[in-house]
Amino acid sequence: MNANMKTLRNGKTAAAVHAAAELSEEAAAFLKAGRPPRDYVETLIRNGLYDDAVGFVAHVLAPRESVWWAWSCARDAAGQKPPAGMAAVLEAVRRWIVEPSDANRRAAGEAAEAIEYEAPAGMAGLAAFMCGDTLGPADAPPAPPPPGAAAQAIAGCICMAAAAGDPADIGARFKLFIARGMERADKGMVWAPDEGAAGS
C-alpha cells in the first residue's frame, strides 16, 4: 500500500480507506501508486469485488449521504409492503435523513433495535444511530461509537440488500446499488480535485 497514492478530498489515500474498511486481500492487489481512488473503486467493480467496493464507498461518503444510500437500498429490498416493524425503521431513518437531530437519530436506533437489527432496514437504522456523538443516554457521559462503526453498518446494510431476492440477479443488484453510492460521492465531490465524475 503506497503512501504516494492520490488522495481523496479529506486527505486520506485509497490505501488508508482500504485499511479502515478492512477490505479483502484480493482488493489490496489492485492498490497501485498513483491510482485515483475513484478508479480503484471502478477496478473493484470490474473484478467482481462488490463487497469491497461497497465498503470503500461507505467509508468515504459523508454520514448523512451514506445513511441515505443505505436507506434507499434497504427500501428497495423491503419491497412495496414491508412488515410493520421494518416499515417503521425505514420511516425513522428517513426522518433522520431529512432532519438529522439527536432525537431522530435515537428514534431510528430504537426502531432498529425493536426488530433486532434484522434485514437491511435494521442495519440502516443502526447506521443512523451510529452517526451520533454518543451511544449512551443523552444525560450520561459521552460514549462515542467505535471509529468506522457507521460505515461498517452501512456496508452491511447494502450487501444484505444486494443479497436479497433472486441469487441470479445479485451481481446486477450490487452494480445498481454501488452506482447509486458512486453518484452520491460524485455529487458530494469526495474524490480528489483532478478526478471528475467520469473517473479516469
Q: Quote the pLDDT of residue 11.
A: 79
User: pLDDT at position 110, please?
Assistant: 96
Residue at 191: amino acid letter? W
- Residue 12: its pLDDT value, please? 84
CB atoms closer than 10 angstroms to residue 17: 25
- Please give the pLDDT value at position 136: 85
Residue ranges covered by each domain of the chain: 63-164
**Beta carbons within 8 Å of 118's beta carbon, 6+ residues apart:** none
Q: Is 163 exposed, middle or buried (0-12, 13-18, 19+ CB in 10 A)?
A: middle
Residues 31-48: tens digit of each pLDDT: 887 778 999 999 999 999
Residue-level pLDDT at 5: 54
Predicted pLDDT at 27: 95
The predicted model scores a pTM of: 0.90
Residue pLDDT, tens place only, 140-165: 888 888 999 999 999 999 999 999 98
pLDDT of residue 4: 40
pLDDT reported for residue 81: 93
What integer pLDDT is reported at residue 56 of this predicted model?
97
Question: What span, in angstroms and rounded, lies between the C-alpha atoms of 39 and 164?
Answer: 28
Q: Which residues of the chain have pLDDT under 50?
A: 1-4, 198-200
The confidence score (pLDDT) of residue 200 equals 36
